[in-house]
Amino acid sequence: MCSDDVSEVEVLLYDMYSTTSYSDTEFSYPKIRELCASIINNDSMLGLIAQAGEDIVGVFFGLVHDHFFGPTLKSSDLLLYVYDNHRGGRHAYRMIKAYIEWSLSKGVARHRVCLGVTTGDKKAGMFYERLGFENCGQIYKLI
Q: DSSP assignment of 30-96, as one string? A: HHHHHHHHHHHH-TTEEEEEEEETTEEEEEEEEEEEE-TTSS-EEEEEEEEEE-GGGTTSSHHHHHH
54/51 Cα distance (integer angstroms) = 6
CA distance 22 to 4: 26
For helices 6-19 and 29-41, give the axis angle rounded to 10 degrees: 120
Q: What residue type is 30 in one-letter code?
A: P
- pLDDT digit string (tens) for the chain, length 143 residues: 999 999 999 999 999 999 988 899 999 999 999 999 999 999 999 999 999 999 999 999 999 999 999 999 999 999 999 999 999 899 999 999 999 999 999 999 999 999 998 887 888 999 999 999 999 888 777 88
DSSP secondary structure code for residue 132 in this structure: T
Whole-model pTM?
A: 0.93
CA pair distance 48, 98, nearest whole angstrom: 8
